[in-house]
Amino acid sequence: MPYIITTRTFDHEHTFGSVPFINPPTRTAVATLDEARDYTFNARVNDDGQIEPLPAEGGTVGPLPDGTVIEVRPISFGALASRAGFAQFSDERPHAEIIAAFNGAQS
């Protein structure tokens, strides 16, 4: 099952009063939970050097010291195909092509 990883960061140089602006989120699709765990590995290491778990249903990592929050959510390949601009359930493209198209559309 694929996952979408959404990263939200803050622009601490530009503020509204004392509140920093939120940068547009970045989204990356990966094919498996293991890839999602690898992608978020450094952010999941706590102050004691222990690795925080990332369950199959996904979850939230953070906020990190700079305020960054990373959300990992499962998504069906049909829904991912739709977000990549393909027909949702009638599309028979290889999964790698759907992920590449989604990630390409995010840049």
On whether residue 10 sits in a domain, the answer given is: yes
Q: Rounded distance, CA 97 to CA 107, Å?
A: 16
Number of domains in the chain: 1
Q: Which amino acid is at 57?
A: E
On whether residue 26 sits in a domain, the answer given is: yes
pLDDT recorded at residue 10: 82
pLDDT recorded at residue 90: 57
pLDDT in tens, 46-98: 888 889 899 999 999 988 888 899 999 999 988 999 899 887 665 678 899 99
On whether residue 95 sits in a domain, the answer given is: no
Provide the domain limits for residue 42: 3-75
pLDDT recorded at residue 35: 96
On whether residue 39 sits in a domain, the answer given is: yes
Computed on alpha carbons and rounded to an integer, the radius of gyration of the chain in Å comes to 16
Token readout for 47 is: 């102050």
Whether pTM exceeds 0.75: yes
Closest CA to 59 of 51, 70, 46, 43: 70
On whether residue 102 sits in a domain, the answer given is: no
- 94: number of Cβ within 10 Å: 8
